[in-house]
Amino acid sequence: MQYLLFVIFVLFLIYDFKKGVVVYAPFKFFFYEGFQLGFVSFDIAFSVLVNLLFIIRYRRLSKNVIFPWKRSFVILSFSGIIFSFYPSFSVGELLRHILCIYGYGYILFCVLDNRGIIKTLIISISIFTLLLAGNGFIQLVTDSNILGDFHDSFYKGEFHDNSLIRFGNFSRIRSFCSHSISYGVECVVFFILFLYLFILYKREYFSKWYYLAMGLCLIGIISSGSRTPLIGLAIMIFPLIKSYNKISLKQKTIITIIVLAFLGLFGTYVMEMIGSIINPDSSSVEGSNAMGRLEQFVYSWHLVQNRLWLGYGNVDLMDMNNFDYSRLYGAESIWLVLLLQKGLIGVGAYIYFYYDVLKHLPKNKIILISFIIGWLFIDSATSLMGINMFLPIMIISLLYRLDSVPSLLKKSNYFIHDKLFYGKTKYYNTCL
C-alpha cells in the first residue's frame, strides 16, 4: 500500500511540480514516522525527489522570489548537519534535517507564488485535517482507530497510545498521531488557520466545508485531553477578538452558534481542564506540573554541563545509560530536547529562526505574531512526538504568502506548470 501511495504522489509531482509539492506538504505528518520504502522512509524518499527535481529542473522558481528567512535556514541546516555527524554519522538524520524540513520548507515557500497554488495548499490542508480530526472523532465515538491502526501497521517502533482517562469518561484520543498531545496540537494549528481564513480571507480562500474541519478540530482539541494545546489556542485566537466587530452579522451568528454548541457539549469538560491549569495542585488530573517541568530543566542542565555546545547528538535519550531518564521522562519542552541533543548551537539556531520571522513581518503582522507566540508556548510547555519544525514553517509560510505574494514577485509572468515527460511549458499571469 505504501508503494502505491508513493507512486500516486510522485505522478502528481511529475505532472505538476508546484501542486505536487503543496499537496504533499501537510501529509508529511502522516508519513513522517513509520512508512518505509525498503531501506528508506517514505518522507525521506519523496523529499529527496522533490529537492532533486527542484535543483535540476525547477530552480528557476526561486529566481524571482525573495526568501526572507535565508540566513536562519542556513543556521538551522548547519545545526542539523552537526547533529547528524555527532557522535556518529546518521545519513537518515542528515536527510531529514536538510531535505525533509528545511529544503522542502524553502521549496514550499518558492512555489507559493500565486493565489491558485495557495488555494491548493489550503485545500490539501483541509483534506488532511478532515482525515486527522475525522478519524479522531470516529475513535472517540466507536473506540476504533481506523487510520491510526493502518499507520501503526507500518511502524516498527513503539507508539505512545496514551489511553489514560482524563477530564471525563473517555480515553485520550490520538487519531494517527504519535501521541494524544501531538493530536491536540495539530488540531489547534489547523483550527486556528481556518479561523484566520474565515475572518480575514473568507471571500477568497474560505470554503463552506471548512466549517466541518473546524468543528472536528475543536472536538479533537478537547478529546486529546491535553491542557497545553488549549492554552496555545487561547493565545493564537486573541488577536481575532479585535476583528470580531468588523465581520458581518452572518459570520457573528455562525461563530456564536458554534461556540454555544461546543460549550453545551463540552462545557463541563472544558471548565475542568481550565481549572486544572489555574490550580493544578488541587486537580485530580495526572501529568507533569510546573514543578515537575522545572526539575526536568534542572536535571537537563546538569547533564549537559560537559557537552554544552553540541549536546549528546543524534542519540535516543531513552536508550542512554549514563543518566536516569526517569528524572527526565518526556523531556517536555523543545528547549530540553534542543539542549540535550544539539546543545547551545541548536538552541541558538531555533531562537534565531523566530527572530528572523519576526524581523520580516507581512501586512497582517499581529496574526503571525500571535501564532508564533502561541506555538512557542506549546513547544516550550510540552513534548511534540511526531511533529517537527516543518509544521510551523508550513503555516508561517502560508500566512506570510497570503499577504505578501504580489510584493514578493518581481515579475507578473511566472513559470508554473511543466510536464516533465513532454518538456512542454506553460506560462500564466500569476500576479492576481
Q: Write out pLDDT tens, residues 90-135.
A: 998 999 999 999 999 999 999 998 899 999 999 999 999 999 999 9
In a domain, 45, yes or no: no
pLDDT tens digits, one per residue of 245-295: 666 777 778 777 777 776 666 666 666 665 655 555 544 455 555 666 777
* pLDDT computed for residue 329 by the predictor: 62
pLDDT of residue 226: 84
Say which DSSP state 146 is in: H
In a domain, 44, yes or no: no
* CA–CA gap between residue 105 and residue 318 (Å, rounded): 29
Residues 132, 418 contacting (CB under 8 angstroms): no
pLDDT of residue 324: 61
* pLDDT given for residue 96 in this prediction: 92
Q: Give me the domain span that covers residue 173.
A: 60-429
Q: CA triplet 64, 66, 72: central angle to 5 degrees?
A: 140
Beta-carbon neighbour count of residue 6 at 10 Å?
Answer: 17
- Taking a C-beta distance cutoff of 8 angstroms, is the pair 332, 381 a contact? yes
Is there a domain that residue 10 lies in? no
Q: What is the pLDDT of residue 81?
A: 94
Quick one: which of 114, 113, 115, 116 has its CA closest to 65?
113
User: Cα–Cα–Cα angle for 274, 278, 280, nearest 5°?
Assistant: 100
Q: Which stretches in the chain have pLDDT values below 50? A: 165, 167, 282-284, 407-432
pLDDT at 376: 95
Closest to 401 (Cα-Cα) out of 370, 355, 367: 367
Residue 368 amino acid letter:
L
Question: What contacts 427, CB < 8 A, 6 or more positions away?
Answer: 413, 414, 415, 416
For residues 351 and 342, the answer to whether their CB atoms sit within 8 Å is no
DSSP state of 38: T
* Grid cell locating 213: 474541519
Q: Within a domain: residue 303?
A: yes
CA 336 distance to own-chain centroid: 19
| Per-residue pLDDT, 419 | 36
Classify burial at 337, counting beta carbons within 10 Å of its beta carbon; exposed 0-12, middle 13-18, buried 19 or more: buried
The contacts of residue 330 (CB under 8 Å, 6+ apart) are: 288, 296, 383
Please give the Cα distance from 57 to 236 (Å, whole number).
39
Per-residue confidence (pLDDT) for residue 330, from 0 to 100: 60
pTM assigned to the model:
0.86
Tell me the C-alpha to C-alpha distance, in Å, between residue 230 and each of 164, 224, 284, 328: 18, 10, 18, 24
- The answer to whether residue 424 sits within a structural domain is yes
pLDDT of residue 169: 52
Report how far residue 232's alpha carbon sits from residue 217's, in angstroms, rounded to the nearest whole number: 14
CA angle 412, 415, 416 (to 5 degrees): 105
Instruction: Kindly report whether the peptide bond that precedes residue 87 is cis, defined as omega within 30 degrees of 0.
Output: yes
What pLDDT, on the 0 to 100 scale, is given for residue 182?
Answer: 93
Q: Cell match 526536568: residue?
A: 296
Query: Number of structural domains, the chain?
Result: 1
- How is 158-193 classified by DSSP, letter by letter? -------B-SSSSBPP-TTSSSHHHHHHHHHHHHHH
